[in-house]
Amino acid sequence: MNPNLKQRIIKEAYRLFIAKGMKQTSFCDVAFAVHKSKGAVIHYFPSKRLLVDAVVKMCFFPASQLPTEIGSAVEKNWDEFLRLYRNPIERVINSFPEQLNGNGLMHYMQFVSSAHEYMDDFSQMYQELFAKEQDFLSNMACNHKMCVNDTVEFSRQILNTSIGKTFLGMFLKM
């Protein structure tokens, strides 16, 4: 087994899943992108479910994680943190491997919808991602001794406001 080839397959499948959609991307498309045979792709990923699972766990969810430098921004200044903060949706869209035709948010929504169809545990993983994000924001508000009655509700509002700005910004670009 060639670990570099396996990583290339995952990376190219992610790019194709975003650009073309999961359902429209075939093993032949992935094989062509990595300059190998369809059999070579199937050797590493015998089913599309396994390929989707690897792409989601190795590309999509890591792209949605908070960058490490955000913690240091929070320690310095709450306003600076809010200026730099990007919600998980925006972080994934900003990490897409290439310029896409159309709206990045639409590609994101299509990816999430398809991943849900291919992976039984995707919904749970997605909910856990947003729960961790909300916990992080709640902890940041507490650490800054914000005058807030309910830090959980406050963190939910920050997250929802950020997501709303992402949606509004994407639609304004259309």
Averaged pLDDT for residues 81-91: 81
Note the pLDDT of residue 94: 85
Q: For residue 132, which of 92, 87, 93, 95 has the smallest C-alpha distance?
A: 87
Instruction: State yes or no: pLDDT of 143 exceeds 90.
Output: no
Tokens of 106: 């639409």
- Quick one: 135 and 89 in the same domain? yes
In whole angstroms, give the CA distance from residue 156 to residue 141: 11
Q: Give the span between the Cα atoms of 172 and 174, in whole angstroms.
A: 5
State which residues form the domain around 149: 60-173
51 within domain boundaries = no
Query: Do residues 125 and 78 both lie within one domain?
Result: yes
Same domain? 95 vs 39: no
Residues 6+ apart with CB under 8 A from 120: none
CATH number at 7 reads: 1.10.10.60
Do 41 and 122 lie in a common domain? no
DSSP 135: H
Q: For the residues of 30-83, what is the DSSP string, one character each?
A: HHHHHTS-HHHHHHH-SSHHHHHHHHIIIIIHHHHSPPTHHHHHHHH-HHHHHH
Q: Tell me which of 133 and 21 has the higher pLDDT.
A: 21
User: Are 93 and 116 within one domain?
Assistant: yes
HSE-CB for 152 with a 13 A CA cutoff: 2
pTM of the predicted model as reported, rounded to 2 decimal places = 0.82
